[in-house]
Chains A and B, each alone.
Chain A
């Protein structure tokens, strides 16, 4: 293991592959013990390898979001899903619904099985969310966009610009709201919407024009013009590819779909997309300052994700019940050894990835003051 690696940022795509692999593992089980271990694994990697950028502090948000998902799941299940047999836990007052809503029951007895099923399911979703969150925390989102294929460059730029402009828009709204008070308005209520929207939108429009002019003047879009036919072919290939990818993903994740649908769809989709991107990328002439290298740690991290996902699929195919503990009879869920090993193996990037690179912080209290003053 490259323990003595120099600090640097791992290629964002490697983090995403690993995180999506972990997400695939999460989505294939409802065993709360496995999910708990998986969450611990993902959390450990995040803590060990996150940088100090603003987005690196967002993992907690995903954890909270996960909790909310579980809670919503449980509450709805308790309210609506009553009626099955089992150990009654509590009896909620039943609400009579009009005849057209027949079949829906509000309230009534809530069974422990129901609640537990909801918790398991919610937990799966929550851990899935946290895996995506881990990728967002570990990989600089803007650099991730930069590693998009050349054909998608424009798309990436649009997203980056949107990411940059969003906070400016928030600042703009705050500024104008405060300015409204100067004219004696409270800045609240429906009537003030127009008074706030007009200056904010005018401001945003003026800014985007300035940005567009600046980008134009700095050479954005210098690439050679593309013949219409080639452009259309690119779009068609990409669209078909995405569609096939969707079908493939659905096939992979939904156990009831025909077995061949998943792999076939995914393969077709990937092939079509690759062709489309290649065709589209041919026109682009652009280079990258400090391109992210793809070296051994990247292979290890991405490989961990892929292998974990593959392993869990194999396990699931051999013994589906292993990953989905039965609720009847109610008992403590088992902790199967093989899946546990797969999940624990996902912690490898905590050592395989190079330590995160941290920007040496120059003295910057004054510059923060400027921003605060503007924001105020």
Chain B
């Protein structure tokens, strides 16, 4: 169905190709998963399928890409609209109309289908994706998961034979992501649609995949049976890491696979308990928030939240989209006016301080870190950060080097990878020397390696005596990085406690390793691996 023949892609100004001599065949009806580090060329590979690369993006494509027998050299993306449907990361950015029904019909209108056919297909698609009640709803008012399902439906109405999905669940909470992925697998099973999907969080999708397309980072591609490709190394979800640590063959791809071999592993682990490096600290908190309330008109976004943050703690803030996580972070930082409540950081309320003084107490890295950057090179941003906080020049530079070495100072901030940009903004915020650091959804768009790095950085910051809060949907990251979890729902705190307790108590929030090894309280494959490497030494530490 999709065929790449010796395809190389070079963007203008680049000194080496993003894709090199790619040979790839995805047969009809398969779900192929594209994995690779950030910047390895996933988006380029996906874009080449319907000709957006190079028709829309520019660049030089050599070789041949054919979809359903049509060559992208002669067919423009718009000519392939009836064969290939594309869904991106941010559904809202791709919406052309403003209500669900009109959006579903848009593609068909372009294809000039008769109105009777359109009405029928709209109804079918509404049912297929469970959107029937939302048919007249405004797209902007839908939740992220609903928006993504509409985006999926909007391409499905044209009955494409190929679906190209570029990280369709990256902005969604675990439950909404499940909903979207379930819809996608149903399409593969029921309609025989061929799917090519990129996804960072392999743990969500790997068990659905028929084929794994791995980008090696040098432009080459390996494709084949998922278990076999993963056995050769590369990025892998926790359950595969666990399988590697336990030496299972074949590697388990899903929690269900792994659980069948888990009894044996649980015996091997025996009474060994995970090292208790995570603990909720006692003593005088670095930040005390009492009765924090934020209302927008009738809507209470955050309702009387009490929160103590201790120096040395990495705390996760979880909850579904719209639960009030971002609002709480902004309200605690003081840049968002609270309706009621107080925050005390070192004897002062950051909400009542001028911005410059507030950020010296509480630093916040917003969801779109690029909002803070406005100069044209990394070097100038760093110098500006030093000036803003009256620090000797080079302070920010040193911080950045510690967080992420090797960022080129002459790069434009826009050209950095997600991870690099996050590190830059974090460095800029740390220059002010805040005792409390808040990060809003920092894991979006990060691959496993970048996430592991981020976890280490946060641990470092906490060990330096800062209190760190991370809002995130990523349970695996929480398992890796956080000591404590606070769960928000509808603006209320519904759970607050050590990671192990909170995360193990709920199937939604449990990381893969915990699901496999339950009832034993293991959270990450690394913990298991180190326990297995040193049998008997996993003694509980206070």
- B-binding residues in A (CB < 8 A): 142, 157, 160-161, 164, 167, 175-176, 178-187, 194-196, 198-199, 202-203, 207, 210-222, 285-291, 359-360, 362, 364-373, 375-376
Contacts and interface: CB of A to CB of B under 8 A. Distances in A.
A216 B78 contact: yes
Contact of B88 (A178, A214, A219): A214
Contact of A287 (B88, B98, B113, B301): B113
Given A184-B389, A286-B112, A287-B118, A222 B79 contact: yes
Contact of B82 (A181, A210, A219): A219
A214 B372 contact: no
B355 interface: yes
Contact of A362 (B77, B82, B137, B490): B137
Given A210-B88, A210-B94, A217-B86, A290 B158 contact: no
Contacts of A369: 299, 301, 322, 324, 490
A184 to B, nearest CB: 4
Q: Which range holds the interface residue count of chain B?
A: 35 or more
Contact of A373 (B90, B95, B136, B301): B301
B80 to A, nearest CB: 8
B110 interface: yes
Given A214-B86, A216-B56, A289-B122, A182 B141 contact: no
Interface string B130-152: 00011011001111101000000
Contact of A367 (B50, B101, B155, B322): B322
Nearest to B155: A218
7 contacts: A196-B374, A216-B55, A216-B56, A220-B110, A289-B101, A362-B137, A365-B299
A217 to B, nearest CB: 4
B514 interface: no
Contacts of A210: 88, 90, 93-94
Interface in B368-408: 368, 370-374, 385, 388-389
B333 to A, nearest CB: 7
Given A181-B335, A287-B115, A289-B119, A199 B88 contact: no
Contacts of B85: 217
A88 B366 CA distance: 64
Given A286-B109, A288-B115, A219 B335 contact: no
Contacts of A221: 78
Given A160-B97, A286-B112, A289-B115, A222 B324 contact: no
Interface string B403-436: 0000000000010000000000000110010000
A373 B358 CA distance: 22
B340 interface: no
Listed residue (A161, A180, A183, A286) with the most chain B CB atoms within 10 angstroms of its CB: A183
B383 to A, nearest CB: 14
B335 A376 contact: no
A216 B52 contact: yes
Listed from nearest, the 8 A-B pairs whose CB atoms lie closest are A219-B81, A289-B105, A214-B94, A219-B110, A184-B356, A179-B371, A370-B322, A359-B136
Contacts of A184: 355-356, 359, 388-389, 432
A158 B463 CA distance: 53
